[in-house]
Chain A
């Protein structure tokens, strides 16, 4: 019988996965929960954050495990998890990923960076940090990063039998995609083997704060009928967390201002400015890309007839350094 290492007041061991739509956190959560319940005799529940979220937007997956005799009645999101799995580092900008982590909790992060760098950015002073370069494993094995994350999760959880998941992976792919069985098993195993972890002093450790955020507006400040009188305020959003590791780089010298990129861009990232051409005629010139909104679809790179736009692997700080801001006609007093 599987023994849960610890449980909360209701008898749950709780896991929260932080990701963006499209990385397979939902599926990983489902496979993990299913294995715990059907393969290890635990009771459990599994669900995701709900909404009309599209690919690239932040999502959470939740897994609750408990002993078989415990009844699961709670259906609210997990706020004080024992384990947090972070699938996508760019989330830090907009999501407090470690919110509510238990004092002796574990954070598993998909990152190519060092343990120290991740620790510092997450301001992690307690518990265990685990780091796995799941993206790299997935690229090398030509598989998906959620399988590598699952392998790493199995290692850090410790109470589930990895062979059981290997069987599940085999069964999942065997029938429809037999050629993918080996790559996925290798991905899982590499996640399991290559994950690095380190525990920090837990003396006087305090739980990571969590707050149930009040909505920005209330019944005295919300316009009646749900009307919004702040047109185009979505420009205040930062969508760079939607990118999955790649973005277009722009070299103005090679640009012929053909507009193809602008025509195909779903997110209106291209910034133009009026100037004079060689003959002194007024013309529009492409200035660059507002990376704040770029989701990394690379349609622009594909249609660029010159090599002004190229695909590059995103490195830390690149988009901030090279961002050309859209010249929106901001109202007075609004931060640009």
Chain B
């Protein structure tokens, strides 16, 4: 519900509430902070990421005690949450879209073993094609997880339902995890005037003490077994208990929301009706779209049209009785859904409403179903008008002219089709200027790279017109690498900035074939492509030259969530190259910390404040992890040392074609989130190399070679010479952070010295 807060009501609020101007994500974070959950395990994904960011900001200032754990992916975050909840802790999480689907496997475990927690699902379109904006395709996957699902139409409802959610989850008749779902961007990011309790104690008192009378994993005196496997004879009882608990949640929620209304002055019936008393035609909508429809109802009512809106605050359990009550006198209802259940002749809410209406005695309303507003497609008043007009017509004629349809589509103009703009440049990437030869006697590669000037004749593989920020280091880094590769490539970009800015439909900045897959799975995906290519070729089904190099491009974020896939692919040793551009954070989603963020560095989830000093642990040493899989070739490179990088790329190509998998890491600048000067890109990267934070080296069939040693050239600098350029790390140079700086320096030295030892001894 969207309650108007008048000046008068402000004074009348039953307990001391404060007015603020905040978004849905801010309100979710505020509720979580006031509840003071024990644990939040999370992984960033738009548009839910802000919740963890706001909580981290508050944490830095000492405003709550929630332990925020940055997981390695959503599956990991769900694991953290489950592990914490079996300990009896109060647990919170937030996610969206494919993040939700990635943790889906864990959700029935949470509900089936009956451990309460609260998850905010900030709804967004599920890939693919990837779309970061809002719809309910992720929410519909939640319907069968066994979690209670509350839906919040407004930022105010996000706050209120979050407070009620935990109480529902922990209620002894329920004991189930709860999802609070609200619309990505429309509700998560729009700021509204909202009320919240001034005093945290009001919230904690309402929610009550965490229940201590259920078995948990950390009660030494009462050891228990959690998660024994069952057979059907037993599982059916577990399911029955769970089913009963779910149905209880309806009544429990009603009780809790009545209690909350007394406290807050705001009420949340399971099914909210608007102008439904005498309505002949109704529109059912989940979340924000329902608010727009109410404006149209006001207008239509003035014209004498008997229309109303139905919108739920709960969809699991499905409030069947309330729905029947709301619709019993209606002649037609249009169910608008921001997702489809392909092939079901209407998406999930249509089917559930139809099923509830079956139980009505007498004439049933005509039901129309419309899929609309997917992927964040706006829902204007004019769209709501179409819905009401269709419903009114059906009410009039008692016939569903079109029972199921999509709203908001158009056929398109054939003249506007996408046509090729440039000729394929296949073949033109072979300059013959770069030569790699294998010396069979020494088993060494000899690489000949011409002066860079000659290579200017080689076309770029990525086209101008991509949407990266000014001064972005991704593309110069990648193009330098590609300069060293002769012939044609097929690239796969995992999700990240590089992908998002170079393949935004209907545009692409790729001249050669490009594939995207989500970043927990890019390495496996490309390994499938490689093997299929060779198998199809082996069978003689395609005529294609040998000079095809497979390259996977990832950010450092993709090497966090996709580490398992990358290691598995490395162990299988496919003939392909993995190139990582490392900008030390999840920059595409707004600069959250990655495992590659150095200690102390400030990101949106590692804020600097009196209680926290940036990232808590050291940066990940990905090249060493990858080298430990014993792949034939591992390298590091940067745009600051172009010849070095081109040479390594040439070697990488040789190894990918002859021996197996190659991994390379490029350190690149992200001026926006490093808070550095765009123009100093190369200078900053050079300082990272010369300070030995990012040594240039290669591991060739197990043997480490430092390819550029700043000490030998008398160019070694302290790490402060690198940090001084970075707004995200400048605080580390202040006297009060000396310890932090020292810790970083010691770690850099330790890794550098180890590398030198490896360079000296081929057995290390």
Contacts and interface: CB of A to CB of B under 8 A. Distances in A.
B466 interface: yes
B421 A37 contact: no
Nearest to B416: A216
Contact of B682 (A274, A290, A302): A302
Contact of B420 (A50, A51, A230): A230
Size range of the chain A interface in the assembly: 35 or more
Interface in A293-336: 293, 295-299, 301-303, 326, 328-331, 334
Contacts of B288: 75
B430 interface: no
Interface string B237-280: 00000000000000000000000000000000000000000000
B471 A266 contact: yes
Contact of B7 (A68, A215, A229, A283): A68
Interface string B26-68: 0000000000000000000011000000000000000000000
Nearest to B513: A231
A75 B132 contact: no
A193 interface: no
Contact of B294 (A73, A237, A259, A264): A73
A58 to B, nearest CB: 10
Given A30-B191, A217-B418, A228-B508, A236 B465 contact: yes
A34 interface: yes
B681 interface: yes
B456 to A, nearest CB: 4
A54 B471 contact: no
B479 A54 contact: no
Contact of B292 (A34, A41, A76, A302): A76
B378 interface: yes
Contact of A72 (B192, B381, B455, B501): B192
B453 A217 contact: no
B658 interface: no
B191 A263 contact: no
Given A56-B470, A69-B6, A265-B476, A239 B465 contact: yes
Nearest to A35: B21
Contacts of B744: none
A24 B588 CA distance: 19
Contact of A43 (B185, B186, B187, B193): B193
B678 interface: yes
B649 to A, nearest CB: 14
Interface stretch (A124-132, A146-154, A218-226): A218-226
Interface string B362-395: 0000000000000010111100000000000000
B132 A234 contact: no
B4 interface: yes
Contacts of B735: none
B442 interface: no
A10 B639 CA distance: 55
A272 B458 CA distance: 10
Contacts of B465: 234-237, 239, 293
Contacts of B160: none
Contacts of A75: 186-187, 190, 288, 291-292
A272 B456 contact: yes
A187 interface: no
A70 interface: yes
A169 to B, nearest CB: 17
A328 B679 contact: no
Contacts of B672: 22, 54-55
B533 interface: no
A227 B5 CA distance: 48
Nearest to B190: A47
Contacts of A232: 421-422, 463, 508-511
Interface in B402-444: 409-414, 416-425
A319 to B, nearest CB: 14
B464 interface: yes
Contacts of B19: 38
Contacts of B129: 225-226
Interface in A224-276: 225-226, 228-237, 239, 242-244, 257-259, 262-269, 272, 274
A308 to B, nearest CB: 14
Contacts of A244: 470
**Main secondary structure on chain B at its contact with chain A?**
loop
A220 B422 contact: no
Given A46-B190, A222-B412, A217 B417 contact: yes
Contacts of A266: 468, 470-476
B703 to A, nearest CB: 29
A274 B511 contact: no
A48 B411 CA distance: 29
A178 interface: no
**Leading 10 A-B pairs by shortest Cβ distance:** A218-B412, A234-B465, A221-B412, A297-B471, A73-B291, A232-B463, A295-B470, A55-B469, A226-B129, A293-B464
A331 B420 contact: yes
A50 B21 contact: no
Given A50-B185, A236-B421, A45 B191 contact: yes
A262 B456 contact: yes
B305 interface: no
Given A299-B682, A302-B679, A303-B682, A242 B190 contact: no
Given A37-B193, A38-B20, A242-B470, A237 B452 contact: no
25 contacts: A47-B23, A48-B189, A50-B132, A68-B4, A74-B295, A75-B288, A75-B291, A77-B378, A215-B410, A216-B506, A217-B416, A219-B412, A220-B412, A221-B413, A233-B418, A233-B421, A234-B508, A259-B453, A263-B452, A263-B480, A264-B681, A272-B456, A299-B471, A302-B680, A334-B421
A216 B501 CA distance: 19
A217 B414 CA distance: 8
Nearest to B294: A73
Contacts of A226: 128-129, 505
A52 interface: yes
A38 B512 CA distance: 53
Interface of A: 10, 21-22, 30, 33-34, 37-38, 41, 43-48, 50-57, 68-77, 212, 214-223, 225-226, 228-237, 239, 242-244, 257-259, 262-269, 272, 274, 283-284, 286, 290, 292-293, 295-299, 301-303, 326, 328-331, 334
A221 B416 contact: yes
Contacts of A70: 4
In this complex, which of A218, A257, A258, A268 has the most chain B Cβ atoms within 10 angstroms of its Cβ?
Answer: A268
Nearest to A50: B185
A54 B679 contact: no
Contacts of A57: 467
Contacts of A52: 46, 132, 500-501, 504, 588
A13 B681 CA distance: 44
B248 to A, nearest CB: 33
Given A229-B418, A331-B419, A234 B507 contact: yes
Contact of A230 (B187, B192, B421, B588): B421
Nearest to A299: B681
Contacts of B588: 52
Given A216-B506, A221-B417, A236-B465, 18 more contacts: A41-B7, A47-B23, A69-B6, A70-B4, A73-B2, A75-B190, A75-B288, A216-B412, A217-B506, A220-B414, A228-B508, A229-B420, A243-B470, A263-B480, A284-B456, A299-B471, A330-B421, A334-B421
Given A226-B128, A229-B420, A297 B679 contact: yes
A52 B436 CA distance: 40
Nearest to A298: B679
A268 B185 contact: no
Contacts of B473: 266
A273 B609 CA distance: 53
Given A268-B464, A297-B470, A329-B422, A47 B413 contact: no
